[in-house]
Amino acid sequence: MKTMKTLAALAVTSALVATACGDDATTATAADSTTTSSDTVTGSTDQTSDESAVRAAVVEAAAWGDNVTITIDGDSFVFESDGLPSHEVLDQYLGDGPDGKFLASGAVETPISVAIPLVPTIVDTPTETGNGAIGVAVSGAVFFDPYEGDGGGTVANDDNDTIDGVPFIDACGGHPIPNGTTYHYHGIPFCITDALDTEGEHSAIIGFLFDGHAIYGPQDVDGEEPTDLDECMGHVGPTPEFDEDTYHYHVSSEANYISECLVGDYTAAGPGR
C-alpha cells in the first residue's frame, strides 16, 4: 500500500483540567461553572481526536494491495485504486447478459476514488444497499451486495454456473460485470481470507463498507462463524484491532453472504453495475 499522509501516533493522550471549587460545593462561583463547561467541551474534542487517530491507524494498517492508495483527509479516508484485485483473475468469465449466459472477456481496470468516514456512526434506521459497490476491499476491488443486477432478487453466489470450464464467479469469490469492468465480490473473497485468516482466530479486516465500518472474513473471536449477526450482517464485539466491543460487518458462507444494508451515515458512491 502507498500511504500519502500518515498520522504519527496511534492515539493522542488527553487530560481534563480540574475545576477549582470552594470548600463547600454550594459556594462554587459562576466563573467556576464557566470553566467546567469549557473544559468539558475541550475534553469532548480531545476524545474525538483520539478516536480519529486510532481509526486512522487501523485503516492504514490494513493489508492493502500495492495498487491501493490510502489518504487520511480530516474526518475521512480516501481510497484510490485501479479497480483490479491484487490477486490473479481469469481471462474469461461467464457473463450474465440480456440473452442469457455468455462468455465474457476478463476483468479490466476501473479506477475508483472514494471518500469514506473515518469515525463511523450508527443511525436509527439502516440504509438498504442499491445497485453497485457498497464498500472497498483491501485487494483494490470493491464489494457488491448479494444480488445480481437482474432486478429479480437473484443471489449471485447461488447462481454460479460454469460452462466449458468458465465460471460466473471465480475461485476467489469475485467477477466483473459483463463488460469486464468493476471486478467485485458478492460474499467471501477467498483469495483474501485464505491469505490473512488464521484458524481458530477472529478474521482479519478485508475492507470497509461505505459507512466506515470495517468488514471482516467469516470467523468470529473463537474462529467460528458468528451466530448473532443482525440484518446488515454485522454485530458488536471485539476484533483484533479493538479490545473493546465495536460494531463491524462479516461476510458469511451462508446466504445472503454479505450485507444488504448499511448501519451508518454515508455519502460515498462507487462504481455501479
Query: What integer pLDDT is reported at residue 34 of this predicted model?
Result: 31
Choice among 27-36, 136-145, 165-174 with the minimum mean pLDDT: 27-36
The C-alpha cell at 27 is 459556594
- Domain housing 171: 67-262
Per-chain mean pLDDT for the chain:
83
CB 53 within 8 A of CB 12: yes
Q: How far is CA 72 from CA 77, 78, 98, 116, in A?
A: 4, 6, 41, 10
- Residues 53 and 71 reside in one and the same domain: no
**pLDDT tens-digit readout, 178-231:** 889 999 999 999 999 999 999 999 999 999 999 999 999 999 999 999 999 999
The one-character DSSP state at 147 is B
Lowest mean pLDDT among 7-21, 127-141, 195-209, 231-245: 7-21
Q: Are residues 71 and 50 in the same domain?
A: no
Cell numbers found for residue 257: 453472504
Q: Name which residue leads in pLDDT, 43 or 27.
A: 43
Structural domain total, the chain: 2
Q: Whole-angstrom distance between the N-terminal and C-terminal Cα of the chain?
A: 27
Q: What is the pLDDT of residues 56-76, one digit of tens each?
A: 999 999 999 999 999 999 999
Establish if 270 belongs to a structural domain. Answer: no
- Judged against a pLDDT cut of 80, whether residue 174 lies above it is answered with yes
pLDDT in tens, 73-93: 999 999 999 999 999 999 999
8 and 119 assigned to the same domain: no
